[in-house]
A and B are shown apart, each in its own frame.
Chain A
Amino acid sequence: MASEQRTATVSFPVEQSKPTGIKLFFQKCSQQKALLLMSVPFVIWLFIFRYVPIWGWTMAFQDFKPVRSFSEQEWVGLKHFIFLFGDENFLRVLRNTFAMSAINLVLGFVTAIGLALLLNELRHMAFKRVVQTISYMPHFLSWVVAASIVSYSLSLENGIINILLTKTGLVDEPILWLGIGKYFWGILGAAEVWKNLGWNTIIYLAAITMIDQEQYEAAEIDGATRFQRMMFITLPALKPTIVILLIMNLGHILEAGFEPQYLLGNPMNVEYSEVLEIFVLKYGIAMGNFSLATAAGIFKTLVSFIFLFAANSIAKKLGQARLF
């Protein structure tokens, strides 16, 4: 009787958070065998594939030799980190990563918000849907396909960009776009916008549907034009969404992407196209310097966390919506 009562109270979720002893825990486990069977194998999977690699961070503080066991590795402290910050290559790679990431962040936000505002003003629903479908298309293409398209569009003889520029007389000679390093950041920013512009509007359009329609009606009666309504009602209503997305994206400030830079990079633009991930790949996989490459990877994660927390606490201070 007593035990029956006990199990009955346990099934209420409110009771769950209270510490009720290890015996009760096992009792509940035996009642929920099916749920455990559904999830525990994948927790083990998660542990192996996502948590075990973090143990590999220890490599950054060793002179790691793959043939030695863990206890035989030689510990070297911060040697690899100190080396990185004296390495000209690393600093250049860091500059490229920050620059492209910042360009992508700013361009990505401004263009997506702008397009979402304009899409919202379309009255013709079928037309709006067609525009949306077409603008999502590049997002689904692989970067290999996108890079193939970009490099073909920029090619010397048959590239559409050079054809347009020479036909309109803006330039006299076709430009070897991917052969000139200083153009690379711009090309990459444009390629990212082309690929993800439509996709990035989805979340803003969803937020726009939440706006109270009465505000628009009131503004209309007051004689506000469409443009004014867009700027003074829709845009301010998007502010919380923008802040949250901005914080989340700042956490990825050192992830400028990797595929487009790798695929569009070549020996002529390497000064501007090489990013952190390519550096890690080069030192780690190609040259076998696992320790140095891991140190660079850890640095990236560390910076990401600092940016994420900084952005979050700034948003908190300003009284804005925040992530956590």
Chain B
Amino acid sequence: MKKLFKTNARHSSLDDRIFDICNYTFMIFLCVVMIYPMLNTLAVSLNNASDSIKGGIFLLPREFTWHNYQHVLGEESLVWALLVSVARTVIGTLISVFCTAMVAYAISRREFVLRKFVTIAFILTMYFSGGLIPTFLLMRDLNLIGSFWVYIFPGIIGVFNLIVIRSFIEGLPESLMESAKMDGAGDFTAFFKIVLPLSLPVLATVSLFVAVYQWNSWFDVFLYNSSIPDLSTLQYELMKILQNSNASMSSKTAADAFSNANAEANTVTPTSIRATMTIIASVPIILVYPFLQKYFVKGLTIGGVKG
């Protein structure tokens, strides 16, 4: 009798059905809104540049061509910028994740004499910072302006990442550490041989966060190295193109004249270059993040609760 009642309640309610239909429809609409701009940009980047001016490109290219990509990747300065982006992402991520994990290990040890001091010193910086100008002057005094290392040094340790890794290490079984200590292993051995291998899931999460930050950065390039073309990055080059097209938007006729002139010559237009670079700048991340979803969801939850 009770069972019958329950199934009735679950299936017969018209309200629930309507709710479900609305909910699924809404979710599909949401996905379209999230993903359409990207697909549209991809279509424009793969479409003949002069044809794109006529408009009407939505999900598929009308006159398919690789020309835009050939043009962008044929431009030496853009390829160099891409290499700088890759370099700062790889070097910055390796250094940051390794150093953050090391400090996280130290402050996860209960017996560590400076544990409280180090933890608080780091966490305090979450709530205030010196601000733009003092930081800029510091970089100048440290002679970091005009150098590649201005991308790496200021961000070696992220406090949020530190908390995430620390929480993970604290969750590892204490008996492992004890038996290692019993065998005479020092802290470095324990860190490299036990903690690092066991922490791979959280290290993957933090690597994603740092890599995304490094890959997406443009403001430090703009602030510190804008006069040095050799240290420009892909995002900064894209930003310059975006700023130019924003500026030309205020004089619409000038922009039209420009794109028409280009259309005659059958080369590339600012729009197609922008679309192509947008795709190049986002594809690496879009290909990686879904595989780490399980981990970063967990990492974010830990950091959110403890932070």
Contacts and interface: CB of A to CB of B under 8 A. Distances in A.
Same complex: yes
A45 B219 CA distance: 22
The B contact surface, by secondary structure, is: helix
A29 B187 CA distance: 13
Given A13-B110, A13-B111, A266-B249, A121 B23 contact: yes
Contacts of A39: 102-103, 106-107, 112, 114, 118
Contact of B250 (A47, A48, A227, A266): A266
A115 B34 CA distance: 13
A240 B202 CA distance: 26
Contacts of A56: 130-131, 133-135, 137-138
A236 interface: no
Contacts of B9: 220-221, 223
A35 B142 CA distance: 28
A145 interface: yes
Interface string B151-176: 00110110000000000000000000
Nearest to B289: A140
Interface stretch (B14-22, B62-70, B74-82, B260-268): B14-22
A152 B274 contact: yes
Contacts of B216: 141-145
Contact of A46 (B122, B128, B218): B122
Given A160-B36, A220-B9, A308 B127 contact: yes
Interface string A184-221: 00000000001000100011001000000000000011
B301 A203 contact: yes
**Which bucket holds chain B's interface residue count?**
35 or more
B257 interface: no
A203 B274 contact: no
The residue among A16, A35, A179 with the most chain B CB atoms within 10 A of its own CB is A35
A46 B158 CA distance: 10
B149 interface: no
A314 interface: no
B132 A280 contact: yes
Contacts of A142: 215-218, 235, 281-282
B139 to A, nearest CB: 9
Contact of B26 (A118, A155, A157): A118
B99 interface: yes
Nearest to B107: A39
Given A53-B129, A284-B136, A140 B106 contact: no
B242 interface: yes
A306 interface: no
Contacts of A25: 113
A267 B246 CA distance: 9
Interface in B258-299: 271, 274-275, 278, 281-282, 285-286, 289-290, 293, 297
A220 B6 contact: yes
Contacts, number: 270
B73 interface: no
A269 B5 CA distance: 61
Interface string A272-307: 000001001100110000100110011011001100
A226 B19 contact: yes
B225 interface: no
A56 B133 CA distance: 8
Given A144-B216, A144-B238, A202-B301, A137 B99 contact: no
A49 B132 CA distance: 12
B27 A151 contact: no
Contact of A152 (B41, B105, B235): B41
A13 B111 CA distance: 6
B250 A280 contact: no
A151 B300 contact: no
A40 B113 CA distance: 12
A142 B246 CA distance: 18
Interface stretch (A86-94, A100-108, A126-134): A126-134
Contact of A137 (B110, B132, B289): B289
B109 interface: yes
Interface in B180-206: 186-188, 191
Contact of B129 (A13, A42, A50): A50
B182 to A, nearest CB: 14
Contacts of A49: 138, 153-154
11 contacts: A42-B99, A54-B134, A55-B130, A56-B133, A140-B289, A148-B274, A152-B271, A206-B301, A206-B304, A226-B19, A297-B133
Given A121-B23, A136-B293, A144-B242, 17 more contacts: A32-B111, A35-B114, A38-B191, A42-B103, A42-B157, A46-B122, A50-B125, A53-B131, A122-B23, A142-B215, A149-B38, A149-B278, A152-B41, A202-B301, A277-B132, A280-B132, A308-B127
Interface of A: 11, 13, 16, 25, 28-29, 32, 34-36, 38-40, 42-43, 45-57, 59, 66, 115, 118-119, 121-123, 127, 130-138, 140-145, 147-149, 151-153, 155-158, 160, 176, 178-179, 194, 198, 202-203, 206, 220-221, 223, 225-227, 251, 258-259, 263-264, 266-268, 277, 280-281, 284-285, 290, 293-294, 297-298, 300-301, 304-305, 308
